[in-house]
Structure 1
Amino acid sequence: MHLWTLLGGLSALGLLTHASEIEPMNFNVTSALEDLGVDVSSIPALKSFNGIQARSAEKACAAACSGLSFLYKSQVSGQNSAGYSNFTDSFWSVQQEEVQPHCVFRPTKNTEVSTAVLLSRLTGCEFAARSGGHAAFTGASSSPGGISIWFKDMNEVTLNEDKSVASIGPGNNWLSVYSALEPYGLATVGGRASSIGVGGFVLGGGISYHSNLYGWACDNVESFEVVAASGLILTVSESSHSDLYWALRGGGNNFGLVTKYNLYTIPAPKMYGGARTFLQTSFKSVINAFINVANNASVDPHAQQYVAFLQVNGTNLASAELTYTKDDSDPQIFKQFRSIPAVSDTASSKTLVEYVKYLETDNPFHLREVYWPIAVELDEAFANWVTQTFYSMISQVEGVAGIQPVIIYQAITDLILEKMSRFGGNALGLDKADGPVLLMHISTWWSDEADDEKVYAFVNSFWEKVIAQAKSVGVYNEYIYMNYASMFQDPIAGYGEANKAKLKSIAKKYDPRGVYQTLQPGYFKLEGAPVTGSF
């Protein structure tokens, strides 16, 4: 038996603790592939491959993709194929659709993911991995010129014997998860729109309808199944590789490819909710109601809310999405919102499946997109000032084709912050002493690539002004929510120096040669923003 195979068995027993056991100093990629049943010398494209060729990214990726195709022919799609187009055409944002990988690989099981990672190491070809593909910038989950690993076919949802844990493949979105669990009267703490993928959502935090009750998605993971850079498959939990378990709860894609998310289940009764929309004359009342609901989360944790401020045909509007996780049309906690005159209200009784389908209409596909968040103290006067500032600056993007700028307010309540300490805590660096926190983010779509820089400059200038004011009045929080972060932001830095250093140390332990930092360069790495912009 090879050492690599033996280590895999020990990992399953939770007996490995040191980096040398995860990836020995004398680690050999070819031998690791051999342990997976892959004989490199039998693959024509790799038999004659050498390190000199790896200096050419195109040749490296041609060799890697040819190797994958030799091993898993029906699961690899090259350019100009139907499978390739299905991949590129199915992204949420146009920026992601525009990426042209060398090939698309659709693994069906964890060992095939291990093989892809090892072939990337052997050839030097970069890779990216996609769960739902709901990011808003180039290369976040598709690799330009490299291997794009599409988890689409790893889409099982199963329950353990007592139905307390759902094992979820990374190819699922939240609609498929909720649909699978609904017949059992169950759900997990998950996303609020149907097409959002499980993977990035959980690894970046994961705000849910149920967050006041249970915390964020990352706080409700029983264990992860992870492909380490060595190809070794680890089961990671509070009791096994607890440091990596902590890191994966907010640390993104920096430590391995997660091939199974084992999430605690929750009851899933019918809910009640929808969007209540108000005119500008009511904005101060709406913000006051929002603040009061957030501050009273402990009184009634079934309430979840966010408020979006936007302009439609020259009219300034506030749309409050008010969700109650019981089928109650008149909970006391939302009475203040309902006392404010509204121009429309879509509230109704909904199952969780119906709710995520309904909310999907707020997230249209095939547009140019940017998300861009900051965090501040939950302060009513500051929230009002930001709203006014937003509308005073919208004219900067007048004339941009198809533009729809929106600013959205959400609260990270004291209840949510308390639950972030569960199971050893997460990597996000949020402290209850600083709560509640007001999470603000810009969500903007537009049509024409020629307007990209103008839109980015608008959002950047807006946040520069807001951050300067937040610092001057003492309400600024360095935290950046990864799942909304723009390509110009560095979420890991926002977790604080101590957490960043700890994350880097854990990455070094499990990935000593930095595979997930270098060969998988997309999305948010441990050192700096994906793009350093100048505006």
Structure 2
Amino acid sequence: MTVNGNSIRQFRDSLRGQLLVPENEGYDEARQVFNAMIDRRPALIVRCAHVTDVIAAVNFARETELPIAVRGGGHSVLGSAVCDEGLVIDLSGMTNVSVDPDKRTARAAGGTTWGDFDRATQAYGLATTGGIVPSTGIGGLTLGGGIGRLNRKYGLACDNLLSAEVVTADGTLVTASVDEHEDLFWGLRGGGGNLGVVTSFEYRLHPVGPVLGGEIIFPLDQARTALRFYRDWSTDAPDELRADATLVSTPDGPGLAFEVCYCGEIDAGEKVLRPLRQLGSPMLDTIDSVPYATVQNLLTEVFQPGMRHYWKSGFVREFSDDAINAIVDFFVADMPAPFAAIAIEHLGGAVSRVETHDTAFAYRQAKHSILVLRMWDDPADSETNIAWGRRCYARAEPFLEGGAYVNYLGDEGETRVRAAYGANYERLVALKNKYDPANVFRFNQNIKPTSDMPLSAHQT
């Protein structure tokens, strides 16, 4: 739908923030997202400065029938933060974090990144489970569940969410918590961005001082032995430990890297990590007592903006010898140029002590997840790199339980979207029918309402 210039001027005048159109300076920068595979041109970008801008943008888009995309950190591999010929609600200017150290809570605006959040909370020696790349937005990660380095001790990011302020599809600002709009609150904890624009998040915080963290890297010829050890050791580990294992090709060569974060007493952590550190002949061991921010930044240099990405993932209940052999054999035989990875992420612990239906995030019993990741720079290499990612995932797929982590999901079709929400999909459809019956918020891993009627028709 074409929007006339007078309407756009009136809309611009109503905002505290900035409205960008394609002719404006800064437009091209504002439409760029983490995954450089995404090259979309929205009609309007609203750089929101206040929740009133979000309300105005939702109302304007609905009245003009413009599609809406919502940008927090812009870190989704799907590129759902930007859409063609629509309106982008950009929250990246809304980054205030308010910490209450006595109550051990923090409230953060919807555009906050985990780097912003960790800096604010670590000033008080506090933290909550958050993304392992600091430029990731708190919004997308939390709404999709929220795997992070503290997840085995303190649960997912969504498990630590206490309340959220949400602009719904009809432009209403509501608070969702266990006491208000509790059905919406349930859906926000794993249902993705399907139910509204979250303008602030309130989290429970935990004492997190120095941690025992860093990397151990083994040569590729030790990968089978090391991964078999890792499977048993990580499954039996105390909740304070998260240890991820990654088969990786880098400019320095291939290897098997372990990234560890032990968030308990350092002496106890030394005992837990000693068997790993005494295993085989590592090429590198950087594990030490370090600030939490240090382990949160282990991947900062790897995940620089401007690269092209292909990801595919699934959950693992049992990491068998056959699974280990399959992925190592593939990686050795079909190793691409840098950067490629098969990452095995450490779950269980507190994540598994929440029931499947207690939050919208359904995959509580998985002990590990597997993420196939391919990253490159030259657009001419896209077909080759995507093909490698698909071959790699096909080799791992027989050992996966069939679901998917919604935050790692690309453009993989409706069947995979349903799989990502798992046993909670139908309940999420009912929430979509209630809070967004016209599917206003559809640039996401979309939960389709039962009927795509105009919102006004549902309100009469």
TM-score (norm 1): 0.78
Whether 2:403 is the aligned partner of 1:466: answer no
> 1:486: Cα distance to partner?
1.9
Q: Structure 1 counterpart of 2:19, which letter?
A: V
Cα deviation per residue 1:369-417 (whole Å; 9 max; x = unaligned)? 112102222223133123224325525x56xxxx521110013214321
Whether 2:30 is the aligned partner of 1:87: answer yes
Is the contact between residue 250 and residue 340 of structure 2 (CA under 8 Å) also seen in structure 1?
A: no
The residue number in structure 1 matching 2:431 is 506
Counterparts of 1:479-494 in structure 2, within 5 Å, are: 479-488=403-412, 492-494=417-419
The 3 A distance-change label for structure 1 pair 451 and 523 is farther
> 1:314: Cα distance to partner?
8.8
| Structure 1 counterpart SS, 2:142 | helix
Residue from 301, 323, 333 that aligns with 1:383: 323
Is the contact between residue 101 and residue 124 of structure 2 (CA under 8 Å) also seen in structure 1?
A: no
The residue number in structure 2 matching 1:322 is 260
Is the contact between residue 40 and residue 84 of structure 2 (CA under 8 Å) also seen in structure 1?
A: yes
Q: Identity across aligned pairs (percent)?
A: 23
| Structure 1 counterpart SS, 2:117 | helix
Is the contact between residue 118 and residue 231 of structure 1 (CA under 8 Å) also seen in structure 2?
A: yes
Residue from 73, 85, 93 that aligns with 1:153: 93
Q: Which one has the largest radius of gyration?
A: 1
> 1:462: Cα distance to partner?
2.8
Distance (Å, rounded) in 1 between the aligned partners of 2:421 and 2:60: 35
Whether 2:74 is the aligned partner of 1:120: answer no
Q: Structure 1 counterpart of 2:405, which letter?
A: Y
Whether 2:75 is the aligned partner of 1:134: answer yes
Q: Structure 2 counterpart of 1:82, which letter?
A: E
The residue number in structure 1 matching 2:345 is 410
Is the contact between residue 212 and residue 301 of structure 1 (CA under 8 Å) also seen in structure 2?
A: yes
Residue from 267, 270, 278 that aligns with 1:339: 278
Is the contact between residue 239 and residue 349 of structure 2 (CA under 8 Å) also seen in structure 1?
A: no
Distance (Å, rounded) in 2 between the aligned partners of 1:173 and 1:99: 23
The 3 A distance-change label for structure 1 pair 484 and 62 is farther
Q: Structure 2 counterpart of 1:209, which letter?
A: R
Q: Structure 2 counterpart of 1:463, which letter?
A: Y
Residue from 429, 432, 450 that aligns with 2:380: 450
Residue from 438, 447, 450 that aligns with 1:526: 447
> 1:150: Cα distance to partner?
1.2
Cα deviation per residue 1:230-278 (whole Å; 9 max; x = unaligned)? 1111111122222211111111011100011111111121112111100
Q: Structure 2 counterpart of 1:338, which letter?
A: R
Distance (Å, rounded) in 1 between the aligned partners of 2:6 and 2:74: 26
| Structure 1 counterpart SS, 2:92 | helix
| Structure 2 counterpart SS, 1:305 | strand
Residue from 205, 208, 214 that aligns with 2:148: 208
Distance (Å, rounded) in 2 between the aligned partners of 1:351 and 1:313: 28
| Structure 1 counterpart SS, 2:45 | strand
Whether 2:243 is the aligned partner of 1:305: answer yes
> 1:309: Cα distance to partner?
0.3
Residue from 21, 24, 33 that aligns with 1:78: 21
Q: Structure 1 counterpart of 2:103, which letter?
A: K
Distance (Å, rounded) in 2 between the aligned partners of 1:361 and 1:460: 25
The 3 A distance-change label for structure 1 pair 73 and 426 is closer
| Structure 2 counterpart SS, 1:92 | coil
Q: Structure 2 counterpart of 1:83, which letter?
A: G
The 3 A distance-change label for structure 1 pair 241 and 311 is same
Q: Structure 1 counterpart of 2:174, which letter?
A: L
Structure 1 unaligned spans of 5+: 1-53, 471-475, 529-535
The residue number in structure 2 matching 1:22 is none
The 3 A distance-change label for structure 1 pair 497 and 168 is closer
Distance (Å, rounded) in 2 between the aligned partners of 1:452 and 1:280: 26
Distance (Å, rounded) in 2 between the aligned partners of 1:61 and 1:276: 59
Which sits farther off after the overlay, 351-360 or 498-507? 351-360
Q: Give the number of aligned pairs.
A: 446
Counterparts of 1:418-433 in structure 2, within 5 Å, are: 418-419=353-354, 425-432=358-365
The residue number in structure 1 matching 2:456 is none
Is the contact between residue 189 and residue 266 of structure 1 (CA under 8 Å) also seen in structure 2?
A: no
The residue number in structure 1 matching 2:297 is 357
> 1:217: Cα distance to partner?
0.3
Structure 2 unaligned spans of 5+: 450-460
The structure with more helix, counted as a fraction of residues: 1
The 3 A distance-change label for structure 1 pair 219 and 72 is same
Deviating beyond 6 angstroms after TM superposition, the runs of 4 or more aligned structure 1 residues are 61-64
Distance (Å, rounded) in 2 between the aligned partners of 1:263 and 1:312: 36
TM-score (norm 2): 0.90
The 3 A distance-change label for structure 1 pair 161 and 290 is closer
| Structure 2 counterpart SS, 1:359 | coil
The residue number in structure 2 matching 1:373 is 313
